[in-house]
Amino acid sequence: MKRYESARENERFAVKRSSVGLGLFARQPIRRGKLVVEYTGELLPAEEAYRRGGRYLFEVNSRWIVDGVGRQNISRYINHSCRPNCEPRTRGMRILIYALRDIRAGEELTYNYGKEYFDELIRPVGCKCAHCARRRLTSGTRTRRRR
């Protein structure tokens, strides 16, 4: 079962270098609204998860957290974007990632990591998502023009 699942994942996704390190890319087109992948891992009580720490903790609700650090969780390669093409939704104790729009083969998959994560871990170093990189580029051009 597990082996079958991961073989199918290899057909659907590729882990490749992106602007922020490794990222998850679609190998096949994905229709808007479709389930893309599940964020899998160990379901832990919030207290225990925060004691453990790490960058792959995903809050299911105020009491439960999925620690997605495990290698079988391919969705841990999905990077943050301020203008994402995917969105995680919780269903019971599961975290499912859906396509927000039609996604082309070869596109990097992204979702918004949320305000808390952004303020704590992304803002201090500057967001490197494609949307922010483009915005920096255009505002840089404008500054140069003004001079």
Chain positions contacting Zn ion, by CB under 5 A: 82, 127, 129, 132
Nearer to Zn ion, 27 or 131 (CB): 131
| Length of the chain (residues) | 147
Residue 18 vs 40, nearer CB to Zn ion: 18
Q: Which one, 83 or 94, has the nearer CB to Zn ion?
A: 83
> Can you tell me the distance from the alpha carbon of 112 to that of 114, in angstroms, rounded to the nearest whole number?
5
Give least dist CB 115 to Zn ion, A.
12
3-state secondary structure of 105: coil
Q: How far is the CB of 49 from Zn ion (least distance, A)?
A: 26
* Contacts for 18 with CB less than 8 Å, ≥ 6 apart: 25, 79, 108
Sign of the CA dihedral running 36, 18, 131, 125? positive
Smallest gap from Cβ 129 to Zn ion, in A, equals: 3
Least spacing, CB of residue 23 vs Zn ion, in Å:
14
The token pair that represents 64 in the structure block: 């439960």
Which residue lies nearer to Zn ion by CB, 73 or 79?
Answer: 79
